[in-house]
Amino acid sequence: MKTYFAESDFQLYLADVLDALDEIPAESVDVIFADPPYNLSNGGITCRSGRMVSVNKGEWDVSRGVETDYDFHKQWIVKCRKILKENGTIWISGTYHSIYACGFALQTSGYQIINDICWYKPNAPPNLSTKYFTASHETLLWARKSTKSRHKFNYNLMKSRDWNGDQLKIPGKQMRSVWSIPSPKPEEKTQGKHPTQKPIKLLSRVILSSSDVGDLILDPFTGSSTTGLVAVANGRRFIGIDNNSDFLDLSIRRYKEMKAASEVP
């Protein structure tokens, strides 16, 4: 595994995620944020090392695809548990296509789910099919290594902020498990497109609620590294993994742009 980019607070690895996770020291990471790919076995996505093969054998084999996806999720989730500190926590985001496999994998791997968060998108696009409810949320899972862990939660910070514009946050009251945050607007994607780019407001809540300044944050499916930008902007250190160098190049541009902007006197 080769380091693709390295500054003291921002490191990127170009690698298969399962390989890269083997290289991270055990018990070294404070918080993991993971936005794994959806529908692996339908999209023909393949992982290296023969661990994951593309399957798309028709409708009769739907459950085979589901279980192949599960095997992959189980593998990276187990590896993440090894590199997480005793009191560290993991976040996983997804829609119903992947989140049930991931949640179940967490629970069968010894993690304890602390919260599941419903991220409500008030600007979700309308549904053209008229055959179901308009999908307008994603789920975030937040889990700790075990029931014995003493995980970190910045309770007062979460409670006191009004989280500008969240219609569900009652000022001065506790932050709840349903968050109203718009999907990223085009102007936030200044450096190009990423299929599932998450809004900065969402990652800010994740990072600020569950880590402190100086903590080490890992994103195993980093993409354009919104997680890393938010981490660094808030004084955390970041490691990102991706198997696509285009996304990592985009990550580097975004990182440098942010650093340049913060050096303005």
Partner DNA sequence: TATAAAGGTGAATCCGCAC
Partner DNA sequence: AGTGCGGATTCACCTTTAT
Residues 6+ positions from 70 with CB-CB distance below 8 Å? 101, 104, 105
| Per-residue burial over 46-70, b = 16 or more CB atoms within 10 Å of its CB, e = otherwise | ebeeeebeebeeeeeeeeebeebbb
For the CA atoms of 58, 60, 63, 67, the dihedral, rounded to the nearest 10 degrees, stands at -50
Q: Does residue number 96 form part of the binding site for its own copies (CB under 8 A)? A: yes
66 binds, among its own copies, DNA, none (CB under 5 to 8 A by kind): its own copies
54 forms part of the interface with its own copies (CB under 8 A): no
Minimum CB distance to its own copies smaller for 105 or for 232 = 105
The secondary structure of 42-101 as a DSSP string is HHT--BTTTTB------GGGHHHHHHHHHHHHHHHHHHHHHHEEEEEEEEEEE-TTTHHH
Strands 10-14 and 178-180, by their bridges, are: unpaired
Q: With contacts defined by CB under 8 A, name the span among 46-54, 133-141, 194-202, 234-242 that binds its own copies.
A: 133-141
Which of 65/228 has CB closer to its own copies? 65
Residue 15 site contact among its own copies, DNA, none (CB < 5 to 8 Å, cut-off depends on kind): none
> Which range in 49-57, 122-130, 212-220, 241-249 contacts its own copies by CB under 8 A?
122-130
Q: Phi/psi of residue 32, each to 5°?
A: -110, 130
For residue 121, the minimal CB distance to DNA (Å) is 9
Name beta bridge partners: 94. 139
Question: What would the x/- binding string for its own copies be over residues 185 to 204, using CB under 8 A?
Answer: --------------------
Name residue, tokens 């085009």. 186
Our finding on whether 193 is near DNA (CB under 7 A) is: no
**Pattern of binders to DNA over 146-165, x per CB under 7 A?**
----x--------x------
d(CA 170, CA 163): 9
Nearest CA among 15, 4, 23, 12 for reference residue 231: 12
Applying CB under 8 A, among 51, 176, 253, 259 the residue interacting with its own copies is 176
Residue list 29-48, contact with its own copies (CB under 8 A): none
Q: How far is Cα 95 from Cα 123, in angstroms, rounded to an integer?
A: 16
Q: Is 124 in the site for its own copies (CB under 8 A)?
A: yes
Among 182, 212, 243, 259, binds DNA (CB under 7 A): 182
- Residues near its own copies, by CB under 8 A: 59, 62-63, 66-67, 70, 95-97, 99-104, 106-110, 112-118, 120, 124, 126-127, 130-137, 139, 141-142, 146-148, 151, 153, 155, 158, 167-168, 173-178, 209
